[in-house]
Amino acid sequence: MKYIYICVLPLLFLFSCVEKPADKVDVYEIRNIGLLSTTEYTIGKVVRLKDDKTWYKYGDRNILISCKAKVKAGVDLTAVGIEDIQADGGKVSIALPAPAILSVTMDPDQVQVELEEVNGFRLGFSQDEKNRILALGEKSIRANLSQTSILQTAAKNARIFVTDFYKQLGFEEITITFKQANDGQKY
């Protein structure tokens, strides 16, 4: 009897430690990731302002400010609905939201006043005025993002990430599509 315990107990322990395949994989777990930032660009901008249009002030002011903004793009996985994922055996199909710009941040350490000229009876630019000029620079960066490939790169990287995610869950055939963006762009 003692020998049976010595042989059976290690076998029970061995079989209890073997990883069992999951009966049902939670294919909707991807929504818990939240905002998936897959691409980051650093974009530089030079903003120039000439303040010489006022007739009642003698003199003019010019300023040239260079700045850099970090732009992150990716996919909001919380927007993936139950209807967007279909799983059947080793196949999964998912419709992701269109990639979008997730954040635009200007680093204050990357802001430089390159040139400031003041002549006549004018005062220099105040910090408030410089901040408004930087806001114009950020607005210009946002407006020109369509000329970059940041959203296409974000879609490509999101596709790679989601494919790897579902391969880790054990799926062999993964089909990823993107919903159409508000501007009609397809990815």
Query: What are 138-169's pLDDT values in tens digits?
Result: 888 889 998 999 999 999 999 999 999 999 98
Q: How confident is the model at residue 61 (pLDDT cuts 50, 70, 90)?
A: confident
In a domain, 7, yes or no: no
Tokens of 93: 């199909």
pTM comes to: 0.72
pLDDT band at 6 (very low <50, low <70, confident <90, very high): very low
Q: How many domains, the chain?
A: 1
Query: What is the per-residue pLDDT for 128?
Result: 86
**CA 147 distance to own-chain centroid:** 17
| Domain extent for 135 | 19-178
> How many angstroms separate the first and last alpha carbons of the chain?
68
